[in-house]
Amino acid sequence: MSPAPYEVREVIVAPRPVAGVRAQVPRGRVAEEFVRYLDQVYAAARAGAVHLDGQNIFIYRSATADQLTVDFCVGVRAPFVAVGAVVPLETPHGVAAMTTHRGEYGRLGEANAAILAWCRANDRRPAGPSWEVYGHWQADPAQLRTEVYYLLKATGGEATP
């Protein structure tokens, strides 16, 4: 199967409040690890401590050769006080490169590669964090939709957030 074409564009993103759990995850293990962290967020919601909007968001804060620092989050409808490991966070904000991935989550690397290729072609540099905003679950993998963002370093004409 040939790679999906990706339209990458530069967007200005506002911070979005989320409830999340920060974790250190071995590279290549996010798919195996995310459930135990999101379960904590959803448990806090079932207990009435946080009101979620149901949209999962993974924020990749930093990486080493072996490990990722990831905030496993869900969007919130209202401010809340931390409950155990579940803390109020927000998505990165400012100028970002963004694309939409359609299909299986196991192919999200293609969307990331498309953004990084766009950055090289447009002389733009990632500023650190990247994040994925997952659409609602669909049983048909062809119907899955995930927005992928990379915060960009400011150029001479941009204000930094």
- Going by C-alpha positions, the residue among 60, 68, 66 that lies closest to residue 25 is 68
How many whole angstroms separate alpha carbon 151 and alpha carbon 60?
11
Residue-level pLDDT at 4? 55
Residue 135 DSSP symbol: P
Mean pLDDT lowest for which of 38-42, 51-55, 72-76, 106-110? 106-110
CB 151 within 8 A of CB 92: yes
pLDDT > 70: percent of the chain: 94
How many whole angstroms separate alpha carbon 33 and alpha carbon 145?
20
Torsion sign (Cα): 36, 89, 68, 3: positive
CB 68 within 8 A of CB 78: no
How many whole angstroms separate alpha carbon 42 and alpha carbon 86?
9
pTM: 0.90
All domains in the chain, ordered by first residue: 9-152 (3.20.80.10)
Q: Which two tokens stand for residue 126?
A: 């990632």
Residue-level pLDDT at 159? 47
Summarize the confidence of residues 31-35 as an average pLDDT: 93
